[in-house]
Amino acid sequence: DSAVFLYTGRKAIRAFNVEQYRLLFDASPGTLALGSAERLRSHLKANRISYILVTPMAHFMEGPFFHRQLASLIRLSPAAFRVEKTFDDPEFYILSVDRSKL
């Protein structure tokens, strides 16, 4: 998060809050270690998030959970998201967030 600020000069926060027990110990199918899509929607609105930098998060346990949570919210509110920037690697991109459409 601080690296984003250092490279861009824009404030950056994580787009999620981790529920440690679910992330580390709950292996049941359908586990939502980061919460539901509604939790992400609330977080984006409450923190006035305008952009999401999406990366593979290959070395983070949160990665698969966040990608599922984000995909679920995009399915619920497709008009709220637009790909603003792509890179050579398709797993890296920037989404703009229209909070009024969430």
Residue 45: count of CB within 10 angstroms of its CB: 13
pLDDT at res. 1: 65
Residue 60 has a pLDDT of: 87
pLDDT at 30: 76
Does pTM top 0.75 for this prediction? Answer: yes
- What's the confidence (pLDDT) of residue 37? 94
| d(C-alpha 35, C-alpha 65), whole Å | 9
CA–CA distances in Å: residue 94 to residues 21, 54, 57, 67: 30, 6, 14, 13
pLDDT of residue 26: 73
* Regions of the chain with pLDDT less than 50: none
Q: Residue 33: what pLDDT?
A: 82
